[in-house]
Amino acid sequence: VRRDRNRPMRDTRVGMLPPKLAQTIVNLAVADTESKGTVLDPFCGTGTVLIEGILAKLPVIGSDLDAAATTGSRTNLDWIAQNYAVEDPYEVILSDATKIPKQKHLVQYIVTEPFLGKQKPNAAKLPFVFKGLEKLYLGAFKHWTTLLADGASVVIIFPAVAIENKHGKTITYNLESLIDKLAQFGYTTLSEPILYHRPQAVVQRQIYRFRFNKA
C-alpha cells in the first residue's frame, strides 16, 4: 500500500496497525451511523487510523500521550494532504486518552487501537497486565462520554491472549469483563467481537463495536 510504505513517518518499534485493518474499522464505524461527522483516535500513534479517516472524506482528530507519535501523525497527515488532495480538516493533539479536552463539535466516531501490551508477554505477568489495561480502557470510555455525540459509534480493538501455562493448560486472557461495566456509561455492544490476528501471533485483536447513547 503506497500510503503506508511511502509515508514519511513509521515506527516499527511498536505494534503497527495494518492499513487495511485501519480502513476496515473506520468503515465499520461509519456504517453504523447515518450522519457523517468527526473521527477521533485517542491512541493515534503515527496516524494510521487518521489517514484512513481522512481518505474516507471525514474530518479527523488524533491524540496521543507520546510527543514523538503526535509529531509523526502531523507529518503523515501533511503528506497525505499534499498527495491525495485532502479537503477535510485534521488535528493532532498531545493528550492522555482520559483527558482529551472538549472539542468545538461533538465527535461522531471513535476509532482506535489502544496499547495492547507487549507482543511477547510474560505469562506470569498477564493477570496484572490485563488488570491494568482494563483500568486504562474503563477510564478512557468514561471520559469519552464528554466528547461523543448522542448515537455515536465506537470501534475499538481489545487484546486477547491465549497462552499455555507450565502445566500445559491453555489460559485465555481478554477484556470481556469490561463490557458489562461500560453499560453504565451509555455504551451498548452492536455485535460479537471480530477476531483478527496474524498466524503465530501471541496477542490477538478483538474488534468491538459500540453505540453510545447519552442518558
Q: Is the pLDDT of residue 115 over 90?
A: no
- Rg over CA atoms, the chain: 17
- The residues with which 153 forms a beta bridge, in sequence order, are 109, 211
Three cell numbers written together for 99: 483527558
Q: Is the pLDDT of residue 166 over 80?
A: no
Average confidence (pLDDT) over 134-160? 96
Distances (CA, A) of 107 to 29, 42, 53, 103: 12, 12, 13, 8
Burial of 215 (0-12, 13-18, 19+ CB in 10 A): exposed
Contact status, residue 117 vs residue 129, Cβ threshold 8 Å: yes
Which pLDDT belongs to residue 12?
Answer: 52
pLDDT band at 195; cut points 50, 70, 90: very high
Report the predicted TM-score, pTM, of the whole model to 2 decimal places. Answer: 0.91
Q: Is the pLDDT of residue 15 over 80?
A: no
